[in-house]
Each structure stands twice: as structure tokens, then as C-alpha cells.
Amino acid sequence: MQKSFKFIFTFFLILCLCCLKAQSPEIDSLLNILKISKEDTSKVNVLNQLADSYWKKDMLDKSFSSCQNALSLSEKIGFKSGSVNAYLNFAKVYDEQGEVIRCIENGQKALSIAYSINDKSLIYSSLNRIGISYYFESDYSQALSYFLKALKVGENIVDKKELGKTASYLGLIYFNQGNYPKALEYDFKAIKYNEECDYKKGIASAYTNIGVIYDAQKNSDKALESYLKALKIAEEIDYKKAVSFSLINISGIYQIRGELSKALEYLKRALKIFEEKNDKSGIAATLNNIGALYEDEYKVAKKHSDKTTDSLLLLTFEYFNKSLAIHREIENKEGIAMVQANIGNVFLNEKKYDDAIRCCFESLTIAKEIDGLDQIKITEKILADIYHQKKDVANELLHYQAYIAARDSLFNAENTEKFVRTEMNFDFEKKQALEELEQEKKDAVSLANLNRQKIISYSVVGGLVVVLFFSVLLFNRFRLIRRQKAIIELQKMMVDEKNKEITDSIHYAKRIQQALLASDTLLKKNLPDFFIYYKPKDIVSGDFYWAQNVSSTSGNSRFILATADCTGHGVPGAFMSLLNISKLSDTINEKKIISPDLILNDVREEIIKVLNPEGAEVKSKDGMDCVLCSFDFNAMKLDVALANNPLWLVRDKKLIEYKPDKMPVGMYFENVNSFNLQTIKLQKGDIVYAFTDGYADQFGGTKGKKFKYKKLQELLLSISEKSMEEQRKELNEELINWKGNLEQVDDILVIGIRI
């Protein structure tokens, strides 16, 4: 049974998103160039560079504005390459905002123009951009199609490092689909591209991926060889994240071989690195693997009736439970499924069948939810073993058949044959490439010798003396400059590495948070006409909007929409938003509570329990303010519960305010009552506005004061007859003008829905 995590350390997932947002050209320099630029192609290029620089610094509004200017000028002067780059920049901005449909639409526009001018470099960039969008939407079939086209077009055209990233995307998709031969083929290609441009991080990542594939094929010798290659390269370039992942994978091989003390040594080295970097995902994975090691030691001790069996069993449960707690904290479903299966297997060996079944069914449910075929195979086998020992033949047969089906999907004769053939092809191509390189070196040496003889024949002694004299002077000067440059570059590298480490996790957290927000597709499907103005203060946000389509007891479909403001902003606020989204989902989907007032009551109780466990010395008052709406469009009715934030309705050019309950969804030390349910009879043309306090609390204007709710009411009334998209733009322009040079003080969220 696979008890340990094998890390697919694909560099484009861990590095690309951060590298794309590394140091950008100085914005001030680009703005200065822009001032003196004429209305020509050079100005378009500067505008596109400026859009990219703003995007890299998360200044999305300014990036969007630069994109618009670049596109407008490109179309005016007929500069199609400029239009392509502008659309690609639009796509990146929409991607950051989580608007996947618009991201893909702009990628398609860029692709269409790129094809019309037959610019293969731009065609590659457009195909790659669309592929990335589909990949992060988990639409693997579409992503596969675009990445394959991109790789074909980009060959011998674009930078090898970029081709290596595309090949790695393809390798990961095929691996996730269980197509190991194809995954291996594209990881070998990734090595080839990265070796050609000497990109060592990419080489290390690809070798790690190849090791995981060999591991999945039960070829531990090949897997260990690949992992050691990855570790050697990672240590050479002091790439700690790759070092730690390689250590874990190497430990797994030694564990399979029964060399448990050696496996534990590698795991402890990895755990130390993860703890230094406070990498919770890595810590959790390593704790799980240590638990698996102690389980193996326990089995050996039990077999020989060793006195250490009890202590080893306690250590097994201790490390598995520590790992499970962290995986639940960071909501890593893959990790929860694996660790629960591991714990279930321990309970099975201890003949505690009910506990084993409970753990395994949670593992199986999550594995099916995330389409984790390998984990399904593992958990189904454990369940079959449990029912075998319980002599429950019907259930044993049911789960054993499911195990066989999952196993056969992953391993079959055709895959094994293709796997071996792919490996042989790669070895042959690499050998052939080395022979060609050796011949080229010999030819180069011969040519150099011939040229040197000619130079000697035509040189004069006096010229050599002069050249030597100036060479000494220049060499001394060059050596001084090089020493100074090396010091500066070293300092810059240290600063860049620290900055990357800090922002890496936050950017990844942003993608997780955006995935949990109500999707554009869900909202468009259920709301007649709407806008969402969402502007986090930092990379991640404490404000969120979340939606769910449910059926009431009467059979009518109801659309529930939450507009919420969690305690804090930035990383703390984001943690609270994930917790509150989780509790909203549990209350509605698991407990089947659909009345807004009862939902908020239940979520409040759950939040208080989570943040104030028994024995806590300090009571946490963290929670959220929330506008929770339940729309019944057939009956033209809106039920709403309001925690601290009001709801506004514009009807016949008049604004009606629905007052909130003055208490949060969380700990509250004054009189705590149930939330009130307010019912609104809707009319065609009504506009419902839900919002958090960020817009009204923004400082600005000539006196640097708050915007305030009264001014926000006047603004919404004045723009209410415009289209919803125009309203969103008006809100954005008004905020920019009001804020001026002042910083944004809080996350901002305003939602408008026209009935």
C-alpha cells in the first residue's frame, strides 16, 4: 500500500506563478519613456510593457487601463502584434480576478490575430495562455489540446525554458490522468529543453517527476536514481524546497526496501527544512511519512514480540494524527484522503473494524470527489480486507471489484509496453545528441587551430607589444568591475530569494481562495443581470462572495448568495474567509438548512466552537459580517438575514434600506439573539445592492475623510439606471478619484443585482 507522499515537484506550478511576478522593469522609467513616445508601434510596446509591470505588482486597475490604451493605439495604427500582446495582458488581468471566461475569450482574440499575421511566437504565447486557463479550471482535455498545439508551434521558435514549462504542464496532466507513458515522454522532453538552456531548477523538477512515475510503476531502482539526480542538482543551486521534496521521495524508496533507519534519516532532514520555512503542507506530508515508518517498525517488532510494540504503535498514531490535523487546517483534500486511509489500515491491523471503516469511507469519499484514482485503488483494497476479516462476503466482493477496476485503469500491458519504449527512445536520442555534440567540438577545435595559424602568420611583434600593454590595463580594470558586480548580484539574489519565498505561498493561497469564490459561470446561470466589484486590499482578501443553488421543501429552486466581510484582511482575513465558506457549505449542503436566519445562527455556533475550543484561555471574537440572500425568482421573493451590514434596494429611483441585526456571525459578548429573517416582495426592475464596509470606509477627497454610506447611497442612486457593467466601472472610477494617492484601507466588495 502506498502510505507515503511522493511529491510531483513540477516547476511550473511552484515556480512559474512566482517567477512571472518577479522583478519587473521600473514603472517610473516606462512612464518617462511613454511621455516622449510618438503615436507609433514603439509607444504600443511601452504600453504593453507597462501593463505587464503593473500586473506583476498586482496593480490590476492600472494594468487594465494600460491594456486598453495599447489596444486602442494598436487598432488605430494597424499594429496587430501590439493588439495580440494587449489581449494577452487582458487575459492575465482577468485570470488574477478569477474571471476565467473573460480570460479565455481574450486569449482566443489574441490567438485569432496571431494566426492572421502568422507570427508563430505570438501563436505559441496565445495557445499557452489559453491552456493555462483551462488547466487551472481542471478542464484537462481542453488544456491538453492547447498545450500540444503550443509545443508543436513553439519548437525552434521560442525560448527553450518556455518550452520546458509547457512540456511539464503536459507531463502533469497525463500523470493526473494515469497515463504514465505519456507523462514520462513529456517529462523527458522537459529535461531536454531545460538542459539546452541550462535551467537547473527545471531539470531538477523534471527528474523528480520522472522518479514519481517510476515509483508508480514499482521500479524503485529507477525511481531512486531519478530522485538522487534531482537532489544533487537542487543542492548544487541551494534550492531548499526541491531539496526537501527530494529527501521525502528518497526516504519513500528506502522505506519500501525495508531500510527504515535510513528512510527516517532522510525524513528528519526534510522536516527540518519545512519547519524552518513554516511550510505547513510539507510538514504535514513529512509527519505522515514518519508515521508510516513507525507503522512498519511496529509490524516488525510485533512479529518478533518485541517490547517496543506499544510505544511504536503510539508513535504511529501520534504522527498520523498530527499530519491529519494540519491537512484539515489547510484543507488539503488529497492529504486528508491519504492519511485517513493510513489510519484506517492501522485500525484494520488492530482489528478495530468500525474505526477502520469510518476512516476509509472518509478517505474514499474525498478521493472520488477529487478524482484521485490511485487513492481510490488503495482505499478500496483496505475496505475489501476489512470486510474479508469481518466475513462480510457481499461487501468484500463489492470493494474488491472496485479495487480491481481502479488498478486496471492505472496498470495495463499496453501502458507498460509504451513506457519501456518511451524510455529507450529517450536514451537513444540523448546518446545520439551527445555524439553529435562531441563531433561539433572536434570540428570547432580544428577550425580554431587553423585560424590561430593564420593570425600568427600575419601578426607583428610591435602590434603584440601594444596589445599586451593595453590588455594588462584593461584586465585590472575588468577584474575590479567584475568583483564589484559579483557582490551586487549576490546581494540582489539574496533579496530576490527572500522576496520570492514570502510571496510564493501568498500567491498560491490567492488561487485557492479564488477557486472557492462563487464562479462567474454559476452567477451568470442563476442571476438575471448583475455586477461584482471586488477589490482586495492585499493579494488575498478577508471579503468574499459565495453562492449555492438549493431546492426548498416546496420544490422551488432558491439561489443563496453571501456577501461577507471577515475579521481582518490580507492573510488573516483570508484564513477566516476559508473557514466561513467551509461552515456555510456544511450548513447548507450537509445539514440541509436553507433559511438565511437559521443558516447564520448555525454558522455562528460552528465558528465559535472552532475558534474557542474547550480549555482556551482567551475567547476569540473573530467572525464575519454578512448579507445572506435567498432568491426565489419564480415567486419574485427575497429572504434575507443581515449581520451588521444592511441591504439596499432601489425601486422607482428611490432607495429602501433594510436594517441589519447589530451583531456579527461569531462571538458576541452582549445579548445574543437569533438573526431576524426579512422577506422582500420583488418587482421587475428592482436593483438589490449588497456590500461590505470597505467602500464607505475608504479615506480620500480633498480633506482625506471617509467616503461614508450616505455618499455611497447617492452614488448608487445616480448610476442605477445604467447597465450593470457600467455601474461597476463607475464605482471603480469614483473610488480611484476619491482615493487619489492614499492607500486602500480595507478589502472592498459591492454586488448589484437587477431583477
Give one DSSP letter per residue of 574-638, joined into a string: HHHHHHHHHHHHIIIIIS---SHHHHHHHHHHHHHHHHS-TT-SS----EEEEEEEEEETTTTEE
- Model confidence at 12, pLDDT cuts 50, 70, 90, reads very low
Domain boundary among 503, 526, 541: 503
What does the pLDDT read at residue 260?
79
- pLDDT tens-digit map of 458-479: 555 555 555 566 566 666 666 6
485 and 623: one domain?
no
544 and 499: one domain?
no
Q: Is residue 442 part of a domain?
A: no
What does the pLDDT read at residue 473?
62
552 and 488: one domain?
no
What does the pLDDT read at residue 572?
80
Q: Is residue 488 part of a domain?
A: yes
Q: Is residue 487 part of a domain?
A: yes
What does the pLDDT read at residue 434?
54
- Model confidence at 646, pLDDT cuts 50, 70, 90, reads very high
- Model confidence at 10, pLDDT cuts 50, 70, 90, reads very low
Please state the domain count of the chain: 2
pLDDT for 519 beyond 90 = no
- pLDDT tens-digit map of 377-428: 899 999 999 999 988 888 888 888 888 888 877 665 345 445 444 554 454 3
Q: Is residue 726 part of a domain?
A: yes
What does the pLDDT read at residue 18?
42
- pLDDT tens-digit map of 610-643: 887 765 555 667 889 999 999 999 999 999 999 9
Domain boundary among 503, 536, 563: 503
Domain hosting 699: range is 517-754
Q: Is residue 625 part of a domain?
A: yes
Per the CB < 8 A criterion, the answer to whether 341 and 403 are in contact is: no
541 and 606: one domain?
yes
What does the pLDDT read at residue 557?
85
Per the CB < 8 A criterion, the answer to whether 50 and 30 are in contact is: yes
pLDDT for 117 beyond 90 = yes
542 and 486: one domain?
no
- Give 369's contacts (C-beta < 8 A, 6+ positions apart): 333
- pLDDT tens-digit map of 551-607: 866 667 899 999 999 987 777 888 888 889 989 988 998 899 999 999 999 999 989
pLDDT for 46 beyond 50 = yes
Q: Measured between alpha carbons, how far is 246 from 232 in angstroms, rounded to an integer?
A: 9
pLDDT for 65 beyond 60 = yes
What does the pLDDT read at residue 495?
60
What does the pLDDT read at residue 709?
94
The answer to pTM > 0.85 is no
Domain boundary among 503, 535, 565: 503
604 and 553: one domain?
yes
pLDDT for 9 beyond 60 = no
561 and 682: one domain?
yes
What mean pLDDT comes out for the span 661-679?
A: 87
What mean pLDDT comes out for the span 505-525?
A: 79
610 and 493: one domain?
no
589 and 496: one domain?
no
Q: Is residue 322 part of a domain?
A: no
For the record, the C-alpha cell of 209 comes out as 517527476
Pick the range with the lowest mean pLDDT from 116-125, 202-211, 598-607, 742-751.
Answer: 202-211
Q: Measured between alpha carbons, how far is 592 from 600 in angstroms, rounded to an integer?
A: 13
Q: Name the nearest CA neighbour of 240 among 487, 21, 14.
A: 14
- Model confidence at 482, pLDDT cuts 50, 70, 90, reads low
pLDDT for 15 beyond 70 = no
553 and 625: one domain?
yes
- Model confidence at 718, pLDDT cuts 50, 70, 90, reads very high
496 and 614: one domain?
no
Q: Is residue 284 part of a domain?
A: no
Q: Is residue 329 part of a domain?
A: no
Could you tell me how far CA 464 lies from the centroid of its own chain? 61
* Per-residue b or e along 501-537, where b marks 16 or more CB atoms closer than 10 Å to that residue's CB: eebbbebbbbeebbebbbbbebbeebbeebbbbbbbb
584 and 606: one domain?
yes
What mean pLDDT comes out for the span 707-735?
A: 95
Percent of the chain with pLDDT over 70: 82
